[in-house]
Structures are given as C-alpha cells and as structure tokens.
Amino acid sequence: MKVILTQNVPRLGSEGDLVTVKNGYGRNFLIPSGRAMAATEANLAKLEGMVKLKDLRVQKDSRNAQVVADRLSGVSCTVRVQADESDKLYGSVGPREVATALEDQGVEIDQSLIIMDEHIKMLGVFPVTIHLFKDIDAEIRVWVIRE
C-alpha cells in the first residue's frame, strides 16, 4: 500500500514522503492516527502543493537563519562566575548561561541551539557554536571572567 506521510515517522520517512507500507500498518495505524493519507490521485495532487509550500518554508527559514548568523558573526559575550585562585570555576558555564549572557546583549537565542562539547570549567575565552539551521552555524566567543 502506498501512503503519503503527513508527519515525520521514525524509521519510515519525513513529512511529504510517498512510501510503501504493509496494508495493515497503513490502514490500521498510519491513516487513523493522522500520520499518513492514502496515495490517491487527489492526495497526490495535494502532495505537490505540500512539497511546494515546504520548499518555500525551508528557503524562508534558511534566509532568516543566514541573517541571524551574519548578525552573530563576531559577537562575544561575557559570563561572570566565581572561581578559585587556580582559575577553576566553582560551577560550570553551559548553554543556559551563554543564552542568558546573549539575552543581556539583546540577542535572543534558544539554549537548545547552543552547541558545546562540554561545559566550560576554567576562566578564559572559548569559542561556542550556535546551530541555526541544517547547514548554517554561527560561532561566537564567550569570555568567562571572575566575578
């Protein structure tokens, strides 16, 4: 049975994909739960419209992400923390603290977009990547200084 996915389905496909599934899986699960619709002529015509809208949305989101990336290039933020004499932090600086520091500068970034291999545990200057879109990243500098 061929169905058109209306939502992303793990290990099967993403929204708008035309996939072949077993009859029972399609009729008893995918279609009743609203995750897919039957691949009829009318629905295939809808699929073309959905694909065009999705492409336009992706292009718009990509342009917006590029604008934000250009705005973030060269940005640095400062996080004030408590540290001991050997410059080790009493806590650590993670995505939440970086997002808060950027917010103080008027740049609102969701902390889930901030990519850090590990939390910062020393004073200094560190590069931090912000993942804005599929292939668009921005790199900022985070200054961790003593309070």
Q: Which residues contact 88 (CB under 8 A, 6 or more apart)?
A: 121, 122
Q: Is 56 found in the same domain as 75?
A: no
**Region class of 96: left (phi > 0), else alpha (psi between -120 and 50), else beta:** alpha
What's the pTM value of the predicted model, to 2 decimals?
0.69
Q: Is 74 found in the same domain as 120?
A: yes
Per residue in 77-101, pLDDT (tens digit) is 999 999 999 999 999 999 999 999 9
Tally the domains of the chain.
2
Q: Is 77 found in the same domain as 38?
A: no
CATH of the domain at 57: 3.40.5.10
Average pLDDT in the chain: 92
Question: Is pLDDT above 90 for 29?
Answer: yes
Q: Is 138 found in the same domain as 74?
A: yes
Q: Residue 54's pLDDT is what?
A: 83
142: number of Cβ within 10 Å: 22
Please say which residue of 14, 46, 64 terminates a domain.
64
Please say which residue of 64, 82, 106 terminates a domain.
64
Question: Is pLDDT above 90 for 14?
Answer: no
Q: Is 86 found in the same domain as 21?
A: no
Q: Is 96 found in the same domain as 52?
A: no
Q: Is 60 found in the same domain as 15?
A: yes
When comparing pLDDT for 20 and 51, which is higher?
A: 20
| CA–CA separation, 26 and 24 (whole Å) | 5
> 3-state class of 73 per DSSP?
coil
* Least confident window among 47-56, 98-107, 118-127: 47-56
The residue range of the domain holding 84 is 70-146
Question: Is pLDDT above 90 for 74?
Answer: no
Query: Alpha-carbon Rg of the chain, whole angstroms?
Result: 23
Question: Is pLDDT above 90 for 143?
Answer: yes
